[in-house]
Amino acid sequence: MKIYDAENFPNPKRVRLALREKGALDQVEFVPVDVKSGELRTPEMRAKNPDATVPFMELEDGTVIGRCNPIIEFIDATFDGPSLTGAAPQERAHISAMNLRVEEGLLDAGADYFHHATAGLGPDLETDQVPAWGERQKRRTQETARYLNGVLADQEYLAGDNFSVADITAFTGISLAGALGLLPDEDLAHLDRWKAKVAARYES
């Protein structure tokens, strides 16, 4: 199994954290991709992954699976360890809904701000910027952070009592938002507590 990624990018980080939770980081081969040089847009890469995004996974039979959520679902079903996506139907649906909420409201919104309202990856790659859209997505990031702070006032993790893929996605999204200076300048004590707790999982 190969995973094509750019290690310090947010979405590849989600997959690496999922593998770490399953104790399977050493059971896959990581293939580094030079995103800034435009490698993803080469014909060779587009033949594997038409989306021209990382991460994507290539199985031994040549099957290619793109996008984080399907990759993490595959990882969760393939490797031993606590479930990240839920076991019973209701739990799976609840986790999936929260995961999509934080993916769209933090990661996607933060990425939109980066690509549209800043220099992003540079003029060669950022050829269709809409700064007003980037600023709108900044506000959405802040709205989502406030929402998550409220959710975490009454529970340990975003989808309930157990750690899940929603926490991985949100942790990565909050890290991106923090690096870009997008988080609200106000007290988000519950979100801060949760972030410290999740960060402690990955300190060793």
Check pLDDT > 90 for residue 7: no
Instruction: Give the model's pLDDT for residue 64.
Output: 97
Instruction: Please state the rounded mean pLDDT for residues 95-103.
Output: 98
Residues 19-42 have a mean pLDDT of 94
pLDDT of residue 115: 86
pLDDT of amino acid 130? 82
- In this predicted structure, what is the pLDDT of residue 123? 74
How much is the mean pLDDT over the chain? 94
Return the percentage of the chain with pLDDT > 70, whole number: 99
Span 30-46, mean pLDDT? 91
pLDDT reading at 142 higher than 80: yes
Domains recognised in the chain with CATH numbers:
2-78 (3.40.30.10), 89-201 (1.20.1050.10)
Give, to the nearest 10 degrees, the angle between helix 131-151 and helix 165-179: 130
Residue with tokens 């406030």: 146
Per-residue pLDDT averaged across 33-61, rounded?
92
Q: What is the pLDDT of residue 204?
A: 62
Q: Which residues contact 119 (CB under 8 A, 6 or more apart)?
A: 126
Burial-class residue 102 by CB neighbours within 10 Å (0-12, 13-18, 19+): buried
DSSP the chain: -EEEE-TTSHHHHHHHHHHHHTT-GGGSEEEE--GGGTGGGSHHHHHH-TT--S-EEE-TTS-EEESHHHHHHHHHHHS-SS-SS-SSHHHHHHHHHHHHHHIIIIIIHHHHHHHHHS-TT-TTT--S--HHHHHHHHHHHHHHHHHHHHHTTS-SBTTBSS--HHHHHHHHHHHHHHHTT-S-SS--HHHHHHHHHHHHHT--
Q: What confidence tier does 36 reach under pLDDT thresholds 50, 70, 90?
A: confident
Count CB atoms within 10 A of the CB of residue 165.
29
Residue 66 · residue 49 · CB < 8 Å: yes
- Mean pLDDT to the nearest integer, 82-86: 96
Tell me what the mean pLDDT of segment 172-189 comes to.
95
Of 22-26, 60-64, 111-115, 196-200, which gets the smallest average pLDDT? 111-115
Nearest residue to 113 via CA among 84, 142, 74, 78: 142
| pLDDT value of residue 125 | 75
CA proximity to 144, closest of 170, 111, 117, 163: 170
Cα–Cα–Cα angle for 193, 102, 160, rounded to 5 degrees: 55
pLDDT in the model for residue 126:
67
